[in-house]
Amino acid sequence: MMNQVVEDIAEKDDKTNLNDFMSRITGEIVVKGFFGKLAEGFQLEGKDAQIALTNLTGEISLIVMENLYSFVKSLLFGVKMWKILPSKQEKDLVRRVENVRIKLNDLILKRIEQLKDNPVQDQDKMVFLDLYVTEYLKQQAQNEQQIDLEEILHQFITLFFAGTDTTATVCGTCLYYLAKYPEIQSEILEEVNEVIGNADINEDNLNKLIKVNALIQEVLRLRNPAFVTLFRTVKRDKQVQDIKLKKGWALVQMQNASSIQDTHFDNATEFNYKRWLSKDSIIKNDNGYIHIPFTAGPRNCIGQHMALMEAKIIIALLVRKYKILLNPAVQQIRFGIKFLQCVEPDNCVLFEKRI
């Protein structure tokens, strides 16, 4: 399915907006991975579902960052902000979210009715929705309902919100570096041709894309998209290594601090994907928490394996199909924060079809 989505969208999309192009691919993968055939032709707000959902989640994120009124309310009230003296723009977003919820619920109810009569026998052929609905029906039959429609809906929203823009941004950044360093692009293309040739990527050859994986790891190290500022208040006096923290202090985490220090990586601020190909120890003075792009512990990213699989497939197939070039019309390229850390402007790279 991932192979097909990349091929289809690459053909249809004009590829003039890098981040939108990547989000269309990753959004379609999430929608089809969750709803399967139910998602075919599925539209929201008059657009393909993945485009409408990507636009909506983006607008929800940006209003809090760009609108001072909404930003202050989010700090004071958290998610309750949407119900407290909502602005016209906030009301419109809430209305659109409710419409999306209704249509997604209709899809879930439709699948429940289908599986009541014809349950999927082969678990390997189930999409995410089938797994949840099967368990929902099982609990219903046993009169032990723990999963309800709201839970299933929230599982989809979580997967889409956490798995669309993040994976898309990683892929977009990878493509930018391939355009910036044509020699790396040649090395990646050579590996792709050797490993998969003209075939689809499958479970046998996916993990043989060693250089593609190294490229992704270097992007995650140097330009991790999840550049969220975390604020904490010190609850009690505490010594952390050589720093004495005082009760009441406000702390701001520098999320990529460990990744850009020469004490942990050689030439840490330089982009060098080959560091991940070394058989020697890559990370110096590693305490297990230096390179954790998906975080660590019990609340680490539950979708990291799917995200890495998507990224490998997207990058490999696009490099095989197109020569990635820097756009000569763009004078300055930078990394900005639009909820996620992404390369800007959106037209910084061009795609030239390979002969």
- Binding residue numbers for heme: 301
Alpha carbons within 13 angstroms on the beta-carbon side of residue 3 total 9
User: In this structure, what token pair is assigned to residue 285?
Assistant: 């003075």
Burial class (CB in 10 A: 0-12, 13-18, 19+), 54: buried
Closest by CA position to 340, among listed 204, 139, 164: 164
Q: Does residue 191 contact residue 209 with C-beta atoms inside 8 Å?
A: yes
Task: Give the 3-state secondary structure of residue 339.
Answer: coil
Residue set of the binding site: 301
Location of structure tokens 């977003």: 93
Query: DSSP letters along 279-321, please?
Result: SS--STT--S-SS-TT--STTS-TTHHHHHHHHHHHHHHHHHH
Q: What is the DSSP letter of 16?
A: -
**What is the rounded radius of gyration, in angstroms, for the C-alpha atoms of the chain?**
22
Burial class (CB in 10 A: 0-12, 13-18, 19+), 263: exposed
Distances (CA, A) of 121 to 36, 37, 125, 134, 155: 16, 17, 8, 10, 22
Task: Give the 3-state secondary structure of residue 148.
Answer: coil
Q: Measured between alpha carbons, how far is 222 from 224 in angstroms, rounded to an integer?
A: 6
Alpha carbons within 13 angstroms on the beta-carbon side of residue 192 total 24
Q: Does residue 260 contact residue 291 with C-beta atoms inside 8 Å?
A: no
